[in-house]
Structure 1
Amino acid sequence: MRQFASLALIAAAIFAPSAAYAENLAFKLENNTSRMIVKFYATPVGGDGKRLELLNKKGLWAGKSRSLTIADGSDACVYTTRAVFEDDSFYDVTNKVDFCESDVYSIEE
C-alpha cells in the first residue's frame, strides 16, 4: 500500500499541468540605450496581477545588464513591460513578452 501511495504522488507531480509555470521567471534585462533605466515594471496579461517593479530602486546603467526574477506567485508567462529612464521618459512594450519562452530581454533605442 505504501509503495502504491508513493507512485501515485510521483505520477501526480509529473503530470500536474501548471506545476512548471507556477515557478519564478528569471531573465536577463539588457539596457542597450544611452540612458540609465531607473525602474522596470512587469504586469501579467489577462489577470488581476499587480504591476511589479523589478529593479528595486537600483537602476540599470546604459550598456549594462542584470539578472531579474518575476516572483509574483502566479502561473502567468506573458507580461507587458515598462522601462522608466533617468530623464522620466519611458518605453512601453507594444507587444507582450513571454518570459517562459525568453530568458533575455533587451531594450534598445
Structure 2
Amino acid sequence: MKRILIAAGAIAAVTFSTAQAEDLVFTLKNDTNSTLTRFYTSPVGVDDWEDDVFGEQVLEPGEAIELAIADGRDVCEYDMRFEFEESSNLETMEAKQDLCQLSSYTIHE
C-alpha cells in the first residue's frame, strides 16, 4: 500500500495552537477500471481546491493508498475531487465526506 502525506500549500510543518488539530488518516481505494490521476481535497466551504495530492503518482485500478491530511485545520468535512486518465470512460467525480468518521473511502464507477 502506498502512503502520502497531504500538506496545505508548501508548508509541511505542523502548526501548534491551544487546540492542536489532529491529522486525518484514511485509506483511499480505487475500485474502478480506470487510473486515478489526480486527487484534490478542500475543507467544505472553501471555494478553491488544494494542490493535487498525488503529484506525479497515480492510483491504478484495484490499488489503495493511505493518506494523512496534515493541514493544521480543525475541521472534519472535506470536499474531494477525483480525476481519471483521459482515455477513461469516467467523468470527474466529487464527494463530500466527514473524514473524522472515515477510516477508508472507496471510489466506485
- Change in 2 beyond 3 A, CA 1:49/1:84: closer
Judge conservation of contact 1:79–1:98 (CA < 8 Å) in 2: yes
Judge conservation of contact 1:28–1:105 (CA < 8 Å) in 2: yes
Where does residue 97 of structure 2 map in the other structure?
97
- Change in 2 beyond 3 A, CA 1:63/1:36: same
Identical counterparts, % of pairs: 36
Structure 1 moving runs of 4+ over 6 Å: none
Where does residue 84 of structure 1 map in the other structure?
83
Judge conservation of contact 1:54–1:70 (CA < 8 Å) in 2: no
* TM-score, normalising length: structure 1: 0.72
Unaligned runs of 5+ in 2: 1-17
The aligned amino acid for 2:22 is: E
Judge conservation of contact 1:83–1:92 (CA < 8 Å) in 2: yes
* TM-score, normalising length: structure 2: 0.72
- Give deviations 1:40-83, integer Å, cap 9, x for gaps: 11110135785242223200001110111111110111001110
- Change in 2 beyond 3 A, CA 1:73/1:50: farther
Judge conservation of contact 2:40–2:49 (CA < 8 Å) in 1: no
Larger RCO of the pair (alpha carbons < 8 Å, separation 6+): 2
**How many angstroms apart in 2 are the aligned matches of 1:73 and 1:48?**
18
Judge conservation of contact 2:23–2:68 (CA < 8 Å) in 1: yes
**How many angstroms apart in 2 are the aligned matches of 1:82 and 1:51?**
10
How many residue pairs get matched? 89
- In our comparison, the structure showing a higher alpha carbon Rg is 1
RMSD after superposition = 2.0
More helix by share: 1
